[in-house]
Structure 1
């Protein structure tokens, strides 16, 4: 017998910028090759995958100019353009990949502008729904980086601005220059050093978009608490991990990524999984958050 679902009544949607979107989104990074360095071996498959996400009701798709060296933005345009009005496409600038597996933040205003112009062209739009500063460049004044994004917004090239891998102090600094529509940090059941940012975003009603939202390791293995909850709920450990995120805070919008249509369908289905309060508590207690 399955446990009784929790009655917390968490919303299935969130206001992201000027659109209300489903909280379970899609991270498009793996539409590129496995190294995120170039085109996929099967471009048609990546196009089908992007289209299937929208067919399943996903209306928030996250990418970056550096994924596949721009290839992922091209694929999204080919798969979905003209984009349905209800679909929000978010992308990111401010980080480059000089070689596979190496990511370097570069926040010079001229480069941020160039990257934004290229994203506009590849996505086939006049205005980007949501543009993140992918990483803050420690060698460029933060106010200059955020100020450039405000200029781009004021020019009508971006609708909303977000920050990635940022703490409360940096978010506050940015909010003194421009509205922050979303914060995207790594966060999952076993990687919780940004717990204090989740709390901050909850207080401030800022959508928190966890990247790498599906944990791996012992908790998902036979005998692990996620595996046990999956057995009790007739689901999978991946779905349990995603459902835990949705229960963690109503501002959380996971962006699980995959190159598999079957895994995409599994991820989207996790939005309907309701865990009991006891299950949520056991999952939360299974790994103590790292020190801030």
Structure 2
């Protein structure tokens, strides 16, 4: 079965399936920031049409970096961001921010930082356990009616939470941890597949595991590719709703990741890779 190269989020917003995660881009002033600006611009030059960011990434600094690099945005570029955390001076330095006033403030600030009038895909970074889900999603629905948000997504949810959310508002995307060696959220992926919901796996390549896995190395050798490219190609072949968003601050790694979209795995290679699975829990993100 041929691997599709594009996906319509919400049935109408078409993007290339292999996107770019901006979280790893340094934002501090100086040479590192200049390099980050160059990587973001290079991603678009290479045909990336989906870039993922969040308020949590530098408490808005990542969003501001992307605006500096890419605004005014190309017409076909989707920058999706996430809200749902607030910075504090106590405890771990953050709190859930799912109250209606938090959500409204978060969206307004994201619009300002990204220099947008409307966020085409806004994802709730985490469900706030202290606020009824209906209040959180109801506020996002109101913001959608007001024209500030185009489409609504979730992050790190269970099948039950996804079902509950869909009974309140239309959900067009889910962003959960998922990769070739970590498929804890396979049931969520299958639920997204059944409903044609975009599934954006964060940590799409298990850190360090690709280079250490013998089967991945064997397939990579057969294809004259890298284990990372094999891991990304597997995601694209595994489900048509998967939109990988690998992140990097390296121009060379960016080129390597983008090239994975053209890698085609044979049925035998897919079978061998499908047999790999580690249920070890990953660190929180």
Question: Is 1:13 matched up with 2:6?
Answer: yes
Counterpart CA distance in 2 for 1:82 and 1:260 is: 24
Counterpart CA distance in 2 for 1:97 and 1:282 is: 44
Counterpart CA distance in 2 for 1:129 and 1:109 is: 20
Alpha-carbon spacing, 1:172–1:218, altered in 2? closer, same or farther (3 Å): closer
Task: Show the counterpart of 1:44.
Answer: 34
Which ranges in structure 1 are unaligned for 5 or more consecutive residues?
Answer: 1-7
Which of 176, 188, 199 aligns to 1:197? It is: 188
Q: How many residue pairs are counted as aligned between the two chains?
A: 279
Normalised by the length of structure 1, the TM-score is 0.90
Please provide the CA RMSD for this pair. 2.0
Note the alpha carbon deviations across 1:174-221, whole angstroms, 9 max, x for none: 112221111110000111110001111111111111011011345532
Counterpart CA distance in 1 for 2:221 and 2:93 is: 38
Task: Show the counterpart of 2:128.
Answer: 137
Task: Show the counterpart of 1:29.
Answer: 23
Which of 86, 89, 108 aligns to 1:117? It is: 108
Counterpart CA distance in 2 for 1:171 and 1:241 is: 26
**2:97·2:128 contact (CA, 8 Å) conserved in 1?**
yes
Task: Show the counterpart of 2:76.
Answer: 86
**1:195·1:289 contact (CA, 8 Å) conserved in 2?**
no
**1:29·1:67 contact (CA, 8 Å) conserved in 2?**
yes
**2:202·2:246 contact (CA, 8 Å) conserved in 1?**
yes
Aligned residue runs from structure 1 range 1-292, under 5 A: 8-17=1-10, 18-32=12-26, 42-98=32-88, 104-221=95-212, 224-287=214-277
Normalised by the length of structure 2, the TM-score is 0.92
What displacement does 1:90 show? 0.2
